[in-house]
Structure 1
Amino acid sequence: MSASAMLYLKLIGSVVFWGGTWIAGRILAGDMTPYSAAFLRFFFATIFMFFITCRVTGKKPNCRKKDILPLVFLGLTGVFMYNILFFSGLKTVAAGRAALIIAATPSFIALGSALIFKEKFNFWKTAGLILALIGVSTIIGHGNPISILIEGASFGDLCIIGCVLSWAAYSLAAKPVVKQMHPIETVFWSCLFGSIMLLIPALFNGLVAEIFTASFIDYSCIIYLALLGTSLGFSWYFEAIQEIGPSKTGIFINLVPVTAVALGAIMLGEPVDLFLVTGGAMTIFGVWLTNRS
């Protein structure tokens, strides 16, 4: 097999891994508290990321004093906040539905880049953001976006929307950091600082007891999230960015919610109705419009 074919297989693998995180997260959310599930995921992810960082960069992870505060913020937004909201939302929200809501994240990152970094936000980007918002509203409102204004969104849906905002904040804060540090190393420090933040609330919410009562399936999901969904997923994705560039690589991100919906239907028996498909298509197309060259 050629190196190019292997690269694309790894890229598709990372997308499938990320789609599968919603299935593993949905299973864990029914068995453990969000704090324990999030901490255990990133405790193991930090260990895996340490070895992957050493292999990719050829040295042990290291950060300067001036990098600590930005890296702590990345751990706060991308690990601590995102994963508590992730597992809290998945207690009541179907995996495929949640993944399609999250699909709007790139549009919010583009908006944040325009506001913070003064990047251009033209007509097509605006149209894409509006279309993505309508798509998400269609998913949450079960085909009637206006119902959100009347009935409001559920707690689970609000948690998933919180994931969108926290990951957008993480991505925007990471932009200046990765100019000074290897992206893989940035992920390692995010995992480490996020794990430290998750430890105390996890201990106060029954972590020790859940470590002993968790089932084999629960630990399988934790290892999946830590090794495949975090460590290998990110390392293969960044490898693709380095080889074929961010534009070509980014196209594959649109397959994540599609994979999550398919796996949710096959593995969890989640229904896939017309409103879910329509709203998801609008969201993904809106994201494409927002981020097209």
Structure 2
Amino acid sequence: MNRNSTPFVFFLLVLTMALWGGTWVAGRVLATHMAPLSASFLRFFSASVFLVLFVSHGQGGFPKISWRLAPHAAFLGATGVFMYSWFFFKGLQYSTAGRAALIVACIPVCISGLSALLYKERFGPVRIFGTLLSLCGVAVVLSNGNPMTLLRQGVSTGDLLILGCVAAWTAYSLGGRSAMKHLSPPVAVMWSCLFGSAFLFFPALHTGLAEDIARASLTDWGCILYLGVLATGLSYAWYYKGIQAIGPSRAGIFINLVPIFALLFASLMLGEALELSLLLGGCMVIAGVVLTNRT
């Protein structure tokens, strides 16, 4: 098979989405075995090592960063690594993997909505309808099919933490707009992981990193390497290869497969039930994302 062919690129993108869908299963397993900050640091430290080697090899040396761009990379590390990963692992201590993945699936809608407000991007009736449809789908997931329960009982702790993932990644994505003007995507991701790992190290050390490392099982290390090397380092490289080959709009559509893979893997590997409210809410979220991101 010609590795530059469109079918091969599609295969890489589908494989990338499967890896990203599997993060929720691996994260759920790891969240029950070690502290959120320890899991976060170990994930992104392993990702940083891989990305430094990968990017350095691709660019013929370690890509340095100027003092002027360092604050941009630090912001990406603080939001997309430190905050997102803490909400990710802490939320998965309380929420199921499939449920969390469906909540996070509304991130593209949040990014589009805030981009319209902050950057005056065009936001017509179809995109408005898609935004409302996706948010209604999240409400269906959060309320187990009865949105009125949100008014009576509010949002659960686990769901609230996963909503923190949505806020953190939205901030990371919007902050990345300015960073990507001066840094290539792989370099920006590498530096965000380096800064994020640095931010995580001392808090993780304070909350039991050494103890968590000492008692980590082979399963735990397998999850860490999966999250750091496969689902962060390697999959980002494949995703950017897809963007280069078929463009960001066509590549971005594949992200809608992530919650589908997450639900499938959570059901097969963790025995999580595929409730009707999850399926209905998930379809609404994905349909809303597609409408919101129509060109």
If the TM-score is normalised by the length of the shorter chain, which range does it land in?
Answer: over 0.9
User: Counterpart of 1:14?
Assistant: 16
Alignment correspondent of 2:260: 258
Aligned residues: 293
User: Which aligned pairs between 1:34-183 and structure 2 lie closer than 5 A?
Assistant: 34-183=36-185
Identity of aligned residues (%): 47
Instruction: Tell me the CA shift for residue 59 of structure 1.
Output: 3.1
Post-superposition shift, 1:146?
2.1
1:66 counterpart SS class: coil
Q: Note the residue ranges of structure 2 that are not aligned, 5 or more in a row.
A: none
RMSD value, Cα: 0.9
Spell out, residue by residue over 1:37-93, the C-alpha distance to the aligned partner (whole angstroms, 9 max, x if none): 000001111000111112333331211111011110000000000000000000111
2:151 is paired with a residue whose SS is: helix
2: CA distance, partners of 1:135 / 1:219: 35
Structure 1 gap segments, 5+ residues each: none
TM normalised by structure 2 equals 0.98
- Structure 2: distance between partners of 1:143 and 1:7: 37
2 CA distance for matches of 1:225 and 1:56? 22
Displacement after TM superposition at 1:15 (Å): 0.6
Question: Does the residue aligned with 2:30 lie in a helix, a strand or coil?
Answer: helix
Matches within 5 A, 1:19-30: 19-30=21-32
Distance 2:118 2:54 in 1: 32
Aligned counterparts of 1:196 and 1:204: Cα–Cα separation in 2: 14
Amino acid at match of 1:187: V
Q: CA deviation at 1:6?
A: 2.5
Which residue of structure 2 lines up, in the alignment, with residue 2 of structure 1? 2
Aligned ranges 1:153-232 → 2 under 5 Å: 153-232=155-234
Tell me the distance in 1 between the aligned counterparts of 2:58 and 2:177.
20
TM-score of the pair, normalised by structure 1: 0.98
